[in-house]
Homo-oligomer: A and B are copies of this chain.
Amino acid sequence: MPTDSLTLDRPLDMHLHLREKEMLGLVGPLSAAHFAGAVVMPNLVRPVDSLADLLAYREQVAAATSGHVFMPFMTLFFRDYSDEELAAARPHLLGIKLYPAGATTNSEAGVKAIDAAESTIRRMEEQGIPLLVHGETHGFVMDRESEFLAIYRHLAETFPKLRITMEHITTAGAVALLDAFENLFATVTLQHLLITLDDVAGGLLNPHLFCKPIAKRPEDRAALLAAALGAHPKLMFGSDSAPHPRSRKECCGCAAGVFTAPIALPVLAELFEKHHGLENLQAFVSDNARAIYGVDPPAKSITLSRQPMKIPESYGGTVVPMFAGEEIGWSVRSD
């Protein structure tokens, strides 16, 4: 007999964009309503790259999510940091996010881009601060992550005690790397478990499913889904939920990002039930992340029930979610 409800203990979103000001006010509560905590990305218009910025941003997030049990796990934007800066920031952050700007199709050049960052990365390794990486080269769009895998290998070998998270992985090759290096971990989004490039550009062009890294091939999705459903212990849910106003999505030259935070848990329940059963969802959306990072989110449980819900056409009249206007079979029970 199928389960009609499922209670998740301390669900976590390990990769989240909350933005600032009005947008933070709109999307912050949506995440806080469903999750016990989230890893908050530091790529604001002015990147969060000092302890002072981090603390100020955490205040803003706390204010926007007040009234909810919700812990923001803060991150810094990678730059050269001194030992002192790292030591001061360490108690307040989950990790430092690196977007290797010099990474090219040529993996040697990519590693050189990492070379410049090595002294800070070594300090992070020594102080036990995790490195979160957006792993794409500047090569052909379908190859960017595959080409970057050599850089992940280089990092994992060079810094064996550094905890490295491959953020929002999209390829079977990245999944395979999880088993090749003890210190490599990964997040995966909701959409990359569900879609391929076909959904973005196989029929009509769908700007609302356009994100970076772009959705890849069916065999990539299959590998990601198998790892998630099987609760691979090194794989964590991270929505990469990224709100954009409708005007920046339905336009000529559309911004990248899919907004999924408020629908992620029920859609995951439906997906897990369909393919596998619900028993591994707890590990995927919480336990794995808690074991990997040793974090201790506040007590909170979220009950999902087999009650159909219609996904809104938009949030705040402007942010269009994945599956806008469609019905899904599960919903978050509001108590």
Contact = CB atoms under 8 A, between A and B. Distances in A.
A258 to B, nearest CB: 12
Question: Copy number in this complex?
Answer: 2
Given A141-B197, A197-B141, A218-B140, A204 B256 contact: yes
A214 B198 CA distance: 11
Interface string A127-147: 000000000000011100000
A214 B201 contact: yes
Interface stretch (A57-65, A70-78, A245-253): A245-253
B207 A140 contact: no
Contact of A140 (B202, B206, B249, B255): B202
A250 to B, nearest CB: 5
Contact of A198 (B141, B196, B208): B141
Say which size band chain A's interface belongs to: 20 to 34
B141 A201 contact: yes
Interface in A196-221: 196-198, 200-202, 204-208, 210, 214, 217-218
A206 B254 CA distance: 7
A214 B254 CA distance: 18
Interface in A152-203: 196-198, 200-202
Given A198-B141, A249-B252, A210 B205 contact: yes
Given A140-B196, A250-B251, A251-B250, A210 B218 contact: no
5 contacts: A206-B252, A207-B207, A207-B252, A208-B252, A250-B250
Given A140-B196, A140-B197, A207-B252, 14 more contacts: A140-B202, A142-B142, A142-B197, A142-B217, A200-B201, A201-B210, A201-B214, A204-B254, A204-B256, A205-B205, A205-B254, A205-B256, A207-B254, A249-B252
